[in-house]
Amino acid sequence: MSFRKQRIAFVYDFDGTLAPGNMQEYDFIPKLKLTSKTFWNEVKRRAKDQQADEILAYMYLMLRKARENDMRVTRQDFKQYAKGIEMFPGVSGWFDRVDDYAKEKGLIPQHYIISSGIREMLLGTSIANKFTDVFASSFMYDQHGVAEAPGLAVNYTTKTQFLFRINKGVRDICDNKKINQYIEADQREVPFTNMIFIGDGATDVPCMRLVKAQGGHSIAVYKPKTSKELAEQLRSEGRVHYVAPADYSKGKHMDKIAHAIIDKVAAYWAAKKL
């Protein structure tokens, strides 16, 4: 078995998948003296009026409202705003448990985030060090380190390019040459068959569908003790394989699904060696 074939990648959305709500709503939006509803309504209105991308619209509005409130926003500020983000049950211990089980099966586990949220905030969360890489929207900064404009916007369709970056091992987002080069399937860093995508809603559908179509595994999660109607709809439409509450505690349904997928992937590559 080659080194590359042993890798197994868990790829996550963030908002609504690993943590309830939107990351901006915990500390950043309250600092603007706005309600979350007011902020997001203005984002939608501006995007519609300007026929703009909603991700760019919310990033623009974050900076505009910050300036109106005399708030300097640096990378470190974004990290601080992330300190109050609360995770779903079991998330804190999930990664080590998954890693231990995958290693027992002879696999090399990796974890990635692909999010429309703010990368700088994600790097400030309590679980940031669990990820091989974090792909998310980010800002450009002036000579004083203050955010001045959107630098990268990750929306529901552009999310899929990062699956190919993980697949090919091209994680530098400015590298547009290597990502488009042909690489033999057995030379790619993480085969799609070894990929698990976990998301919660409509904005994750392109990633869910792509991973599933390429032989990987897709999971739709929903907030515990709430309706699973959307998640079940995604399964009935063939977008995902599995549906589970976003409870990552030991022995819960997500835990069992992860173990089953790890077993399947390990068995597949063990059989390839025969």
pLDDT digits (tens, 9 = 90+) for 67-112: 999 998 999 999 999 999 999 999 999 999 999 999 999 999 999 9
- Mean pLDDT of the 141-149 span: 95
pLDDT-derived band at 151 (thresholds 50, 70, 90) equals very high
Is there a single domain that holds both residue 159 and residue 224? Answer: yes
pLDDT-derived band at 5 (thresholds 50, 70, 90) equals low
- Mean pLDDT of the 254-268 span: 97
Cβ burial, residue 48 (10 Å; 0-12/13-18/19+) = exposed
Q: Quick one: residue 9, left, alpha or beta (phi over 0 = left, psi -120 to 50 = alpha)? A: beta
Q: Could you give the percent of the chain with pLDDT greater than 70?
A: 98
Output the domain CATH number for residue 113: 3.40.50.1000
Is there a single domain that holds both residue 16 and residue 33? Answer: no
Is there a single domain that holds both residue 67 and residue 129? Answer: no
Angle of CA points 97, 100, 105, to nearest 5° = 130
pLDDT-derived band at 206 (thresholds 50, 70, 90) equals very high
Q: Say if strands 147-152 and 133-141 run parallel, antiparallel, or are unpaired.
A: antiparallel
Q: What contacts 212, CB < 8 A, 6 or more positions away?
A: 218, 238, 239, 240, 241
Is there a single domain that holds both residue 181 and residue 202? Answer: yes
Is there a single domain that holds both residue 155 and residue 214? Answer: yes
User: At which residue do the structure tokens 């706005």 appear?
Assistant: 34
Is there a single domain that holds both residue 130 and residue 40? Answer: no
Q: Is the pLDDT of residue 126 over 90?
A: yes
Is there a single domain that holds both residue 75 and residue 162? Answer: no
Is there a single domain that holds both residue 209 and residue 145? Answer: yes
Beta bridge partners of 12: 113, 198
Q: Is the pLDDT of residue 227 over 90?
A: no
Beta bridge partners of 217: 196
- pLDDT of amino acid 272: 84
Sign of CA dihedral 80, 78, 155, 12: negative
Is there a single domain that holds both residue 74 and residue 160? Answer: no
- pLDDT of amino acid 68: 95
Measured CA to CA, the distance from residue 4 to residue 23 in angstroms comes to: 34
Domain, as residue range, for 151: 4-21+87-273
- Mean pLDDT of the 38-51 span: 98
Q: Is the pLDDT of residue 222 over 60?
A: yes
Q: Is the pLDDT of residue 224 over 70?
A: yes
Is there a single domain that holds both residue 66 and residue 112? Answer: no
> What SS3 class is residue 133?
strand
What's the total number of domains in the chain?
2
Average pLDDT, rounded, for the chain: 95
Q: Could you give the percent of the chain with pLDDT greater than 90?
A: 89
- pLDDT of amino acid 34: 94
Is there a single domain that holds both residue 40 and residue 109? Answer: no
Is there a single domain that holds both residue 187 and residue 266? Answer: yes
Measured CA to CA, the distance from residue 116 to residue 204 in angstroms comes to: 10
> What SS3 class is residue 150?
strand
- Mean pLDDT of the 26-33 span: 94
> Are 68 and 83 within 8 A, CB to CB?
no
Q: Let me know how long the chain is.
A: 274
Q: How far apart are the first and last CA of the chain?
A: 10
